[in-house]
Amino acid sequence: MIENQCFNDMKTVIDAHEISKTFNPETIPVVAVNKVHLHLEQGEFTALVGPSGSGKTTLLNLLGGLDRPDSGSILIDGVDITGLSSRKLIDFRLNNIGFVFQSFNLIPVLTARENVELIMQLQHQRKTDIDKRVKELFGEIGLTDKLDARPAQLSGGQQQRVAVARALASKPKFVLADEPTANLDSKSASNLLDIMDALNKAEETTFVFSTHDPRVIERARRVITLVDGEIHADTAQVAVDSATRR
């Protein structure tokens, strides 16, 4: 039995209906996501969990428009992204979805500031607005002294904090984070989660994590368990506060 406790008084951000994805359909079919229905509200802090091969990353990629489902629909803020052309889908991702990856994916030749500015420049935002947003975000992530550092001059934890700032730069509808703490030590992971939790509450940005990390799971306010591409549990929980753990 699935226990599904959503934030019913909030705005719907993601509404996925019966989405499925099979790889290698003509040779050895691998069903990665099987008829998943998922409803996410504004401001959620949700973890997708499950064993390797359960479909977590595939589901995250489908929700983010990085891959297309074989069937079903995905509505983001009321827009069915499964019906968008490739060009329109790229534009939609740019303006509505933030991504945080396990491997940071910062552009090495750009400074920390430039990595964060890039998204807003692609959106043709005004320079004054970009400068203001960068100042806000680097204050939030505690790296105002690293604005002009390149990724190679930053620790892994600092790089991932810049990646979070980049994901939030354009004030997206939601942020998808694929194993964001996997390459971090315990202190860096805890600091990163503190920052994402604070930004989630301050800006009401929806966060969806794909993770094996118990540190992420205990912070989540909703945990969705996937097994063989299907949702086997969907449970609201009281997140463990960082101050309580200390």
Residue matched to tokens 């990724």: 151
Total residues found in the chain within this entry: 246
Start-to-end C-alpha separation, the chain: 35
Structural fold of domain 12-102+168-241: Rossmann fold (3.40.50)
Q: Given phi > 0 = left and psi -120 to 50 = alpha, else beta, which region is 10?
A: beta
Residue in 71, 69, 79 with CA at minimum distance from that of residue 12:
79
Q: What pLDDT is stored for residue 67 in this prediction?
A: 95
Q: What pLDDT is stored for residue 26 in this prediction?
A: 83
**pLDDT per residue as tens digits for the range 77-98:** 999 999 999 999 999 999 999 9
Q: What pLDDT is stored for residue 2 in this prediction?
A: 40
Q: What pLDDT is stored for residue 25 in this prediction?
A: 85
CA 243, CA 47: separation in Å to the nearest integer? Answer: 20
Looking at residue 8, what DSSP letter applies? T
* Other CB atoms within 10 Å distance of the CB of residue 201: 11
Instruction: Tell me which amino acid residue 171 is.
Output: K
CA 25, CA 224: separation in Å to the nearest integer? Answer: 26
Q: What pLDDT is stored for residue 5 in this prediction?
A: 43
Mean pLDDT of successive 10-residue stretches along the chain, which has 246 residues:
46 94 91 96 95 94 96 95 95 94 92 96 95 95 96 95 94 93 90 92 92 94 96 85 54
Q: What pLDDT is stored for residue 242 in this prediction?
A: 55
Q: What pLDDT is stored for residue 104 in this prediction?
A: 87
Q: How are strands ordered across the β-sheet holding 71-76?
A: 30-41, 12-23, 71-76, 79-80
Q: What pLDDT is stored for residue 238 in this prediction?
A: 77
3-state secondary structure 24-36: CCCCCCEEEEEEE
Reported as type and span, the H/E element at residue 60 is: helix 56-63
Which residues, at least 6 apart from 128, have a Cβ–Cβ distance to it below 8 Å?
none
Q: What pLDDT is stored for residue 245 in this prediction?
A: 53
